[in-house]
Structure 1
């Protein structure tokens, strides 16, 4: 009996002590929270927060209902609970630039553990600090301007011609799959000296295609539109000049003359940006526009929201490559808020190569083929850009 009473007393004391500790810690946390002026927002469901509605598939040329509703209700900077952590979401161009420019000082790359588990701990996407800088320098050596001029331009052109020649007997196919294979085969040859069709190349390509979602961002149907005609005129002029000079193959001057092509590429990336947002973490308490971002909180700069901001881009839902021309009154303001490849110390090392690939491919495509959608297929964000049907197109050789 005495033992039972003693056990009950000890148990009751332990429960009481636990309650006191919980109450005190809750009061401390609440007191600690009150010193922060957090952006408005909501937490959502326990544990998962608002992750599922945030990742809900939507048309790739929009921000999606979640972002539009939250911006309308809370403003361009709001708080949420995403991927299991308290998060500040930014659709504010100034804050996004501030985050990118202060990488490693005030903010640090911080992707969910699931991403790191898939990519591996040595992936440039998840590395931080000195290790990331070293890996980035290695990558930049492969894709420097000197390499682009001396080797890669010719390699990209030869690979482009090979791919386009294969289309002449196929007629209808998935443009998305062709784009994935085009990108992979080019990089496999350049970085790993692996040729198309080799057993190791094909095996690695299958793994690459399985993993990568949405490496294509083309929310447009070019043929028979004003910008398609403008593109064709530009590339016919380049081809005519080369023929008169007896030149074979594109050179760097030809690439730099593709001014309208670069406008089309920019507008395509703006409307169908593959990297729609990035994951960062605050390294210290930060104040911005009257709001506090507590140390350790996740921060999500949403690039798509800025690219579709009507205070920066006139009629942002419209595909208008002319907005990027140098004589455009808003070109300078738009460029400062245009970040399809990120920015700051973590600017994509392959950004210049990507633009070179697109420009060379478009050059030969508009000279060799007319094309059309084989069936309607609109890009969706999952959250990466993807085409449900693979973007089936039908091509016709220009005679």
Structure 2
């Protein structure tokens, strides 16, 4: 019997050893990029989510770039991943959508957006969603009708803020952007709401995006999935009410989708609900964080605020009627404002990176990225590259005067890259530009407390930024 148990134990040790060896040495038809696969099952997930308290590239990424160079392998939540900070390779790979790579997300995104389902018409779906977003959030729509609506929204919002003793900037900015996104999507009116719409479900979804995929009560992952279900139920109620009133025409995104449901087979009710959720999420999340960071950075850099204010006061001086609505030409003249927005986005690097999955083996710099592996384009490493951006951790909007277009295209990707470039990028810039215009010409503010940042690796506030805002005396 002792011999039996000894043999059994030996076999177990051999199996475990073989399994660990295979984990650390994945199959590859060539040479894998350097790096480590970490511990079995969890990979290097725990090291990745260790918080850092700086705008700088996360220590997890930075240490490995210093050790292995601009391309390395790792494993995150049981997913083999190649991380790239090579601008040339990144530029190349983002042009290969549907050829060498496809869009990919880690477990949570894949679960909530049903990724992995066999959709042979995937490129057609992407084209449809992009055109839908452009038709309602793009430049033509902004010029034709959204500009005065946005200005009115921002005027009402900041006026409301000024009547309060203090505001929590991220929460207040989220509510503003969220409500306007809901208005465009399904004509939501926060003053006369037809449903109990709250951005709380969307906030927890954002906070749980890169949480470890442990689905049991008490975990961020579980809460994220539960709140996602609640948000989808709200969207389902909105869709059902609209479908039950076929004569109602609001001219919003939902009207557009319902009309197209008659012709597009993929526009099932479940897909439409997911699509509405996605449009709402992307219409507010990065905008609210960027605006909040701008408050922090402008408070800490008075010379930047002084020049920003001067640009907008000059716009008022050039008007025949000072209180007239802003025009598209005035928006396009906001050169320094765009520098401030770009510099805030560059420092923020809100997302940890752009993720693609290799459809076939990819050769790069003598290495092979196996088919099926995820490729993470680390935008923070590009946007904080000292070879492109001198003194990269400094908030210096003037740097954008001299940057070359080629450097910008390969090192600055706040709205994605390639054919997956965000269709709402112009909408985001317009909203933020108009926000600054109203803010610096009519109001002043003081920071009360908070505003420290943390990367986990998603950038967020470690403690709530609170400000007091008041009207300027004229």
The two structures share one fold, judged by TM-score above 0.5: yes
Partner of 1:5: none
- Match for residue 343 of structure 1? 417
How far the C-alpha of 1:196 sits from its partner, in A, is 1.4
Structure 1 residue aligned with 2:380: 304
Tell me which residue corresponds to 1:144: 138
Q: 1:79 to 1:182 in 2, by over 3 A?
A: same
Match of 1:264 among 329, 340, 348: 340
Take 1:362 and 1:289, find their aligned partners in 2: how far apart are those partners? 44
State TM-score, norm by structure 2.
0.73
Give the Cα–Cα distance (whole angstroms) in 1 for the partners of residues 439 and 368 of structure 2.
Answer: 50
- 1:237–1:332: structure 2 CA closer, same or farther, 3 Å change rule? farther
**Correspondence 1:72-91 to 2 at 5 A:** 72-91=66-85
Classify 1:31/1:315 alpha carbon distance in 2 versus 1 (closer, same or farther; 3 Å).
closer
1:39-78 equivalences under 5 Å are: 39-59=33-53, 61-78=55-72
The reply on whether 1:225 has 2:282 as its aligned counterpart is no
Spell out the pairing of 1:113-262 with structure 2 (5 A cutoff). Answer: 113-119=107-113, 128-200=122-194, 202-213=196-207, 215=286, 216-217=289-290, 218=293, 220-223=296-299, 225-242=302-319, 244-245=320-321, 248-262=324-338
Task: Provide Cα deviations, 1:154-196, integer angstroms capped at 9, x if missing partner.
Answer: 1110100000110221131111011101111111111210111
Q: Is the CA contact 1:324–1:331 (under 8 Å) kept in the aligned structure 2? A: no
Find 1:370's aligned residue among 444, 459, 465: 444
User: In structure 2, how many angstroms separate the alpha carbons of the residues matched to 1:390 and 1:200?
Assistant: 31
Contact 1:156–1:357, Cα closer than 8 Å, also in 2: yes
Pair 1:168–1:138, CA change in 2 (3 A): same
1:379 and 2:453 matched: yes
Distance 1:247 1:304, change over 3 A: same
CA contact (8 A) 2:48 2:456 kept: no
The alignment status of 1:353 with 2:427, answered yes or no, reads yes
1:107 has 2:101 as partner: yes
In the alignment, structure 1 residue 277 sits paired with structure 2 residue 271: no
Deviations 1:247-278 (A, max 9, x none): 61101001001000000000000001222312
- How many angstroms does 1:68 deviate by? 1.1
Secondary structure of the residue that 1:114 maps to in structure 2?
helix
1:202 deviates by 4.3
Q: Which residue of 1 aligns with 2:238?
A: none
Instruction: Identify the residue that residue 371 of structure 2 maps to in structure 1.
Output: 295
Q: Structure 1 residues 32 and 50, CA, compared in 2 at 3 Å: closer, same or farther?
A: closer
Gaps of 5+ in 1: 1-7
TM-score, normalisation: structure 1: 0.86
Distance 1:385 1:122 in 2: 28
- Following the alignment from structure 1 to structure 2, what is the Cα–Cα distance between the partners of residues 350 and 56? 31
Whole-Å Cα distance in 2 between the matches of residues 31 and 222 of structure 1? Answer: 48
Conserved 8 A contact 1:275-1:341: no
Q: Distance in 1 between matches of 2:448 and 2:26?
A: 61
Structure 2: unaligned runs, 5 residues or longer: 208-284
Which residue is 2:220 aligned to?
none
Matched, 1:333 2:410: no
Deviation digits for residues 192-221 of structure 1 (CA, Å, limit 9, x no counterpart): 101113444542433233333463031643
The farther-off stretch of 358-367 and 88-97 is 88-97
Question: How far did 1:245 drift?
Answer: 4.5
Larger radius of gyration: 1
Note the aligned Cα RMSD (angstroms): 2.8
Shift of 1:383: 3.1
